[in-house]
Amino acid sequence: MGVLGRGTAYGSCSLLHAVGAGYGASLSLDLPAKVMLRDNPDRQEIVDPHGLLTAVESIWTEAGLSMPESEVHWMVRSEIPAGVGLKSSSAVAAAAILALCEATETILETPQVVELAVRAQMAAGCAITGSVDDTWAAVTTGWKVVNPQVPIHEGIALEGEWPGSEEWAVFVVERGERTAQIDPESFARSQMNFQKALGAIQQGALDNALTENGRGVAFATADQAGRKICNDLLVWGARCAGISGSGPAIVFMIPSVNEAAIDRILDTLGSRGLSVFETAIRTE
């Protein structure tokens, strides 16, 4: 029979770090993670160091939902680099929930999908605050400022789309997997930057929010190299640049019409030995 159910969710970048601000916000990017539920094993071994997919199954059954009658196996095809701050765990968890929905003909509202995916991430130990904002970005477009301390369906404080999203070129600077330990006290000491990011979102200055949030993360994680790269990108012509999640990936944006500046930035990053890939802001 093969595939029983399929689900697709997406990675995102940070506009506001939930540990630092109390509220979180992530912008959905065109970085898909596709998860399939099969009745036979995938030939490609799944890399799941946190046991996230096992946690998804447990949370699903704890919610009183039925698993497929046949033996099930997971298959994951993700374009999101793992462990770098681009919300791969949220995307895989949400896509797995959607695959279970299709496999069992279960109908869930979007907040229910988010809730189950958040619970799975907490159970697997791969999220500090539950990554509620990241999980919303995995299954909906645009961004949402989310309070993770209240029920999922009550937690959205602000939401919107990135203005003229199709007019922006979006790039990710890869710097390997995360090595810095996440210390909530260090994030608390970066409060000024995170408050600036929140204020920028409230004023509709989303590019400023991405930059200020990244500065807060750089300070909290002592990532001076990341802070310097972001500052250089702004000097070279990027409209905004910031460390995403808890790092180390850096997301920067520039209007797509500025082709000369884009070429100059990519050439300079390449000469420094930095790997860069292009993505896009996800729209309907």
Q: What is the pLDDT of residue 90?
A: 98
What's the mean pLDDT in 176-180? 79
Higher pLDDT, 49 or 34: 34
2 pLDDT band, cuts 50/70/90, is confident
CATH architecture of 165-279: 2-Layer Sandwich (3.30)
CA distance 120 to 97: 10
Q: What is the pLDDT of residue 188?
A: 86
pLDDT over 90 percentage in the chain: 87
What's the mean pLDDT in 9-24? 95
3-state secondary structure 61-126: HHCCCCCCCCCCEEEEEECCCCCCCCCHHHHHHHHHHHHHHHHHCCCCCHHHHHHHHHHHHHHHCC
What's the mean pLDDT in 70-92? 95
49 pLDDT band, cuts 50/70/90, is confident
Q: What is the pLDDT of residue 12?
A: 98
Packing angle, helices 52-62 and 88-104, rounded to 10: 50
- Decide if pLDDT at 38 tops 80: yes
Average pLDDT of the chain? 95
- Decide if pLDDT at 222 tops 70: yes
What's the mean pLDDT in 10-26? 96
Q: What is the pLDDT of residue 181?
A: 73
pLDDT digits (tens, 9 = 90+) for 89-107: 999 999 999 999 999 999 9
For the domain made up of 3-160, the CATH class stated in words is alpha beta
3-state secondary structure the chain: CCEEEEEEEEEEEEEECHHHHCCEEEEEEEEEEEEEEECCCCCCCCCCCCCHHHHHHHHHHHCCCCCCCCCCEEEEEECCCCCCCCCHHHHHHHHHHHHHHHHHCCCCCHHHHHHHHHHHHHHHCCCCCCCHHHHHHHHCCCEEEECCCCCHHHCEEEEECCCCHHHEEEEEEECCCCCCCCCHHHHHCCHHHHHHHHHHHHCCCHHHHHHHHHHHHHHHCCCHHHHHHHHHHHHHCCCEEEECCCCCCEEEEEECCCHHHHHHHHHHHHHCCCEEEEECECCC
- Decide if pLDDT at 254 tops 70: yes
Q: What is the pLDDT of residue 178?
A: 81
Q: What is the pLDDT of residue 1?
A: 55
Domain boundaries, the chain: 3-160, 165-279
Q: What is the pLDDT of residue 184?
A: 85
- Decide if pLDDT at 130 tops 90: no
- Decide if pLDDT at 47 tops 60: yes
Model pTM score: 0.96
